[in-house]
Amino acid sequence: MANVLIWGASGGIGRALTETFLTKGHTVGAVARRPEGLEALTPFVFPCDVTDPEGVSTVAVRAAEAIGPLDVFIYAVGDILSAKVAEMTPEDWRRILDANLTGVYLTVRATLPHLAPKAHLFFLGAQHERLRLPGLGAYAAAKAGLEALAEVVRKESRRKVTVVRPGAVTTPLWEKVPFRIPAHALSPQQVAEAIFQAWEEGREGVLDL
């Protein structure tokens, strides 16, 4: 049985991951800015905004105390915005970078001391090469930066690190952009199952879905 900590557990993919790992018999700590409803899935629920360094550090300690050394770390927080660079406010830029990149740094920094020796870290990325479109500058930049950061974390920590890069996924994020969701879009459950399988198989590096 593994101890799993999921940051962003209330989102579409995050909730599917929480349900998947619990169904398979593992212990899950669920972290979310709005954790309503997660208590029905797991007793280990931690409210937290990943942009708050002090709050993130507190949750990392509390989660490790509650469920033990962490075998699986999953960062599934994300946000998106459609705005051209010339029209985007600095506040919007920071919001997208905070959710998709800075939050990764803060949660990894806080959680590393509480990881089990053979822990595996997963980061929810995106096929950012396909997202370099008008209006998606902040999102594409953040996801590209995430891959670079994940590679550095792998080298520094000498742990298993996987960046999961799904294509389109049927989550509420699509409501924030003026694009039609593709017919072949994956469901959050399909992404969660793929991540679970990658963990079972010990797959590292980049996982394109």
**Side-chain half-sphere CA neighbours of 63 within 13 A:** 35
* Domain residue spans of the chain: 3-208
Q: Is the distance from CB of 144 to CB of 123 less than 8 angstroms?
A: no
How far is residue 96's CA from residue 208's CA, in Å, rounded to a whole number? 22
Instruction: Indicate the pLDDT class of residue 168, thresholds 50, 70 and 90.
Output: confident
pLDDT of residue 21: 98
pLDDT for 74 equals 98
- Region 146-169: mean pLDDT is 95
Q: pLDDT for 174-202, tens place per residue?
A: 778 777 777 788 899 999 999 999 999 99
- In 3D, which of 178, 148, 142 has the Cα closest to residue 163? 148
What is the pLDDT, as a whole number, of residue 206? 96
pLDDT averaged over the chain? Answer: 94
Query: How many CA atoms are closer than 13 Å to the CA of 143, on its beta-carbon side?
Result: 25
pTM: 0.95
Q: Does residue 121 carry a pLDDT above 80? A: yes
Residue 81 has pLDDT above 80, yes or no: yes
DSSP for residue 99:
I
Domain 3-208 falls in which CATH fold?
A: Rossmann fold (3.40.50)
SS3 58: helix
The pLDDT > 70 percentage for the chain reads 100
Reading phi first (left if > 0) and then psi (alpha if -120 to 50, else beta), residue 108 is in: alpha
pLDDT, mean of residues 98-121: 98
Contact between 26 and 1 (Cβ < 8 Å): yes
Are the C-beta atoms of residues 191 and 209 closer than 8 Å to each other? yes
Enter the tokens of residue 93.
């830029």
Average pLDDT score over residue span 18-33: 97
* 3-state helix/strand/coil string of 141-195: HHHHHHHHHHHHHHHHHCCEEEEEECCCECCHHHHHCCCCCCCCCECHHHHHHHH
pLDDT for the residue 127: 87
Half-sphere exposure of 27 (CA within 13 A, CB side): 14
φ/ψ of 25, rounded to 5, equals 95, 15
Token duo for residue 77: 């927080």
User: For residue 45, which amino acid is it?
Assistant: V
Amino acid 97: pLDDT: 97
